[in-house]
């Protein structure tokens, strides 16, 4: 008996020691335990660096297919070294009120947070689909908080740039929209005629606002913030300048990669140039990533091809881009963050973090089982 208790104690001690041990490396695709030993639950996420701490926000998933809808809200984790993360709980909770835009059961994807130094507010944007309405709402949601860990207060959800034409609008967009143009298409590739501009989706959505699905935020060196999102039935990316308080659209925006069906777009800057890493549009199934570079944020953008190299590069190592993190205080150091989605049991989704190498100024991703900064 005493021997059994003794062995149990040893097992317990080993488990606790292992758990307390600090990680010093990334292991892409593996279970990533937080400070409580639970797999990090922050999918489609992004990272904010504020006062020496990294904050990771993402979709909180639950087990089973129901977990693809928002049952809990947006998770937040904090870390000083990027390997070890503390669960900071739920930064934005879904609402029990059935009349709320973010009622439990809505679809709330790809949350991102930026800090506004003028208002001293943390501002969260996310892709919102209203409960029970599939992917047709295609709205942007905005929430704010005084603290990085929240609680965030939901402010509004809306379609971008209602009543505004993009800077690079074409004369044919302003012509009356043909009655054949449907209110909504099935979404994704294959259900829209080609070329996509033969269907004037921009004109269709001019009054009510443009569609906004997969999204990211980017703050430039001068403090100007931009929202980048898949619009026009996912066929075309829009890059929109936000207002100074980061809470709304300024009305100034550009259409980029027209008809290229890019999702999971991430925007970052290196040595004065702007870069995008994005995916193709194939639902939850992974595909070959794309990359692009520009001298100005609104373009002209030049595509650089799939940044992933080697085995499984055609599926970006079975992942889809969600964010590119620039490491503070480390020259030329960027991390590609991707999701390995598991839509049958979304809580089990894994994270693919890989260092970005630049070869002839083009981003490249090489698989690594383990790596550190």
Give the burial class of 288: count Cβ atoms within 10 A of its Cβ; 0-12 exposed, 13-18 middle, 19 or more buried. Answer: middle
CB 277, min distance to ligand DGJ, A:
13
Between residues 41 and 145, which has the closer beta carbon with respect to ligand DGJ? Answer: 41
Q: Which is nearer to ligand DGJ, 101 or 339 (CB)?
A: 339
Shortest distance in whole angstroms from residue 110 CB to ligand DGJ: 6
Interface residues for ligand DGJ in 104-143 (CB under 6 A)?
109-110
Task: Give residues 206-235 in contact with ligand DGJ (rule: CB under 6 A).
Answer: 214
3-state secondary structure of 68: helix
**Binder among 44, 58, 67, 346 for ligand DGJ (CB under 6 A):** 44
Question: Does the footprint of ligand DGJ cover residue 59 (CB under 6 A)?
Answer: no
Neighbours of 3 (CB within 10 A): 7
Which residue in the set 82, 263, 286, 340 belongs to the binding site for ligand DGJ (CB under 6 A)?
A: 263
Choice between 78 and 234, CB closer to ligand DGJ: 234
Q: How far is the CB of 148 from ligand DGJ (least distance, A)?
A: 23
Closest CA to 260 of 226, 317, 318, 303: 303
Nearer to ligand DGJ among residue 190 and residue 283 (C-beta): 283
CA–CA gap between residue 269 and residue 283 (Å, rounded): 27
Structure-token pair, residue 107 = 């679809």
Q: Which of residues 233 and 263 has its CB atom nearest to ligand DGJ in the complex?
A: 263
Pairing of strands 362-366, 308-309: parallel
Kindly tell me which of 108 and 142 has the beta carbon lying closer to ligand DGJ.
108
Question: What whole-number distance in Å separates Cα of residue 337 and Cα of residue 56?
Answer: 11
Size of the site for ligand DGJ (CB under 6 A): 9
Query: Which is nearer to ligand DGJ, 203 or 264 (by Cβ)?
Result: 264
**Can residue 307 be called a binding residue for ligand DGJ (CB under 6 A)?**
no
Please answer whether residues 88 and 76 qualify as being in contact, where contact means their C-beta atoms are separated by less than 8 angstroms. Answer: yes
- Is residue 45 a contact residue for ligand DGJ (CB under 6 A)? no
Going residue by residue from 165 to 204, which x/- string records binding to ligand DGJ, judged by CB under 6 A? ----------------------------------------
Please tell me the distance from the alpha carbon of residue 194 to that of residue 204, in angstroms, as a whole number: 17
Report the alpha-carbon distance of residue 232 to residue 185 in Å, rounded. Answer: 10
What long-range pairs does 278-283 form, CB within 8 A, spacing at least 24?
Answer: 278/237, 278/321, 279/316, 279/320, 279/321, 280/189, 281/188, 281/189, 281/230, 281/234, 282/188, 282/189, 283/188
Say how far apart CA 111 and CA 214 lie, in whole Å.
Answer: 10
Among 160, 239, 320, 365, binds ligand DGJ (CB under 6 A): 320
* Residue 149 or 322 with smaller CB distance to ligand DGJ: 322
Please give the Cα distance from 209 to 249 (Å, whole number): 11
DSSP state of 112: E
284 binds ligand DGJ (CB under 6 A): yes
**Residue 283 sits in the site that holds ligand DGJ (CB under 6 A):** yes
Q: Which residues bind ligand DGJ (CB under 6 A)?
A: 44, 109-110, 214, 263-264, 283-284, 320
């Amino acid at each position: 008996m005493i021997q059994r208790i003794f062995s149990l104690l040893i097992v317990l001690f080993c488990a606790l020691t292992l758990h307390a041990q600090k990680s010093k490396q990334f292991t892409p695709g593996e279970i990533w335990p937080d400070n409580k030993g639970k797999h990090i639950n922050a999918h489609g996420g992004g990272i904010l660096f504020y006062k020496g701490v990294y904050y990771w926000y993402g979709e909180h998933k639950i087990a089973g297919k129901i977990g693809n809808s928002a049952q809990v809200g947006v998770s937040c984790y904090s870390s000083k070294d990027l390997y070890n993360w503390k669960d900071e709980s739920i930064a934005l909770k879904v609402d029990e009120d059935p009349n709320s835009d973010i009622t439990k059961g809505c679809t709330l994807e790809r949350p991102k947070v930026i800090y506004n130094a003028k208002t001293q507010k943390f501002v969260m944007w996310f892709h919102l689909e209203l409960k029970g309405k599939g992917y047709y709402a295609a709205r942007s949601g905005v929430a704010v908080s005084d603290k990085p860990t929240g609680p965030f207060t939901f402010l509004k959800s809306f379609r971008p740039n209602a009543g505004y034409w993009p800077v690079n609008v074409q004369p044919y967009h302003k012509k009356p929209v043909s009655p054949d143009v449907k209110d909504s298409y099935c979404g994704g590739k294959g259900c829209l005629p080609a070329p996509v501009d033969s269907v004037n989706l921009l004109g269709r959505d001019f009054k009510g606002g443009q569609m906004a699905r997969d999204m990211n935020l980017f703050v430039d060196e001068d403090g100007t913030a931009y929202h980048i999102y898949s619009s026009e039935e996912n066929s075309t990316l829009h890059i929109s300048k936000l207002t100074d308080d980061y809470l709304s659209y300024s009305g100034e925006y550009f259409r980029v990669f027209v008809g290229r069906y890019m999702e999971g777009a991430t925007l970052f800057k290196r040595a004065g140039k702007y870069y995008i890493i994005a995916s193709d549009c194939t639902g939850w199934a992974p595909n070959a990533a794309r990359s692009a570079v520009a001298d100005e944020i609104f373009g002209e953008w030049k595509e650089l091809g799939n940044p992933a190299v080697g085995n499984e590069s055609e599926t970006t190592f079975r992942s889809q881009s969600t964010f590119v993190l620039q490491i503070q205080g480390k020259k030329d150091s960027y991390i590609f963050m991707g999701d390995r989605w598991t839509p049958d049991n979304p809580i089990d989704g894994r994270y693919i973090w890989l260092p970005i190498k630049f070869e002839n100024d083009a981003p490249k991703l090489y698989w690594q089982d383990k790596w550190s900064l």
